Amino acid sequence: MNAGIIILDKPCGHTSHEITSFIKKITGSNKSGHAGTLDPDVSGVLPVALGKDTKMLRFIASKDKTYIGIIKFKKEISEGEVKKAFKHFTGEISQTPPKMSAVKRRKRTRIVFHLNFLEKNGNKVLFESKVSAGTYIRTLCVDIGKYLGMPARMEELRRISVGRIQESKSISIQDIIDAFWLYNNKKDDSLIKKYIFPVTDFLEFKKIIIKQSAVPALRSGAQLMAPGIESIPEEFKKDEMLSIYSDDKLIGIGTALYTSEELKNKKHGKVLQTERIY
């Protein structure tokens, strides 16, 4: 397997790296990688890329994430107080990554799109939250406790979506083991085809179509020039990320240097800043 994306339902008790390495071994891929690291004690949606698709992970990982979790307070608290705190932490927030994180510990701005109260049992509150990439839910829980004047911590957490990738698409490690057993022993690849998706299924960028004659130059490191454009099927803005296609094949990802309307009248010059050639 030298390409493909697996939407794994990561179990608790393992690091994302351990899980990704295990998937590499099962599939026999030459390399593997994951999008959006989950802590060992957090379960849920973990996109895993195989082979050449690992280079496309950052275009999948930089998505909003949705979680279901339990926050545990030092003492029992009213539903009203919890909802007030949740409202306070909805929108643009500032947080410092926890000590265990692999990134530099400095304040960062993140967005909490929603932080919904679901139910309460004593001093434990079940919630759902949609956040921008790079938001630490563990830190968010601690900060909510500080706002309410009492210790609080994340008790449990599960990621239920990465961008438009829902947990309904996710599969277990055992599913992957079964799929490759079926192929290796019965030469039946039906489950592999069911569980391993092309990377194009998860790229949400608008498309620009280039001429076949422009592909070799682009793959050799050249930038896309105006004469290389075949068609512009969708409207887009300047600085918008685009998927570059030739016929029906993905060639790469680039950033538009002009709007779609401006490009329609452009006859020469560089038109895209290449981000990644596929």
What domains can you pick out in the chain, each with its CATH number? 3-61+166-200 (3.30.2350.10), 65-162 (3.30.70.3190), 205-277 (2.30.130.10)
171-180: long-range contacts, CB 8 A cutoff, minimum separation 24 = 171/6, 171/7, 171/8, 171/9, 171/195, 172/8, 172/9, 172/11, 173/8, 173/11, 173/19, 173/22, 173/23, 173/26, 176/6, 176/8, 176/23, 176/26, 176/27, 177/26, 180/26, 180/27, 180/28
Rounded (5°) CA angle 15-275-162: 40
pLDDT in tens, the chain (278 residues): 789 999 999 999 999 999 999 999 999 999 999 998 999 999 999 999 999 999 999 998 778 999 999 999 999 999 999 999 999 999 999 998 776 665 566 788 999 999 999 999 999 999 999 999 989 999 999 999 999 999 999 999 999 999 989 999 999 999 999 999 999 999 999 999 999 999 999 999 999 999 999 999 999 999 999 999 999 999 999 999 999 999 999 999 999 999 999 998 899 999 999 999 99
- For 271, counting Cβ atoms within 10 Å of its Cβ (0-12 exposed, 13-18 middle, 19+ buried), the class is buried
The pLDDT of residue 63 is 82
Active-site residues, by number, are 39
The pLDDT of residue 108 is 87
The pLDDT of residue 36 is 87
The pLDDT of residue 102 is 56
Question: What is the C-alpha to C-alpha distance for residues 83 and 155, in angstroms, rounded to an integer?
Answer: 18
Amino acid at 232: I
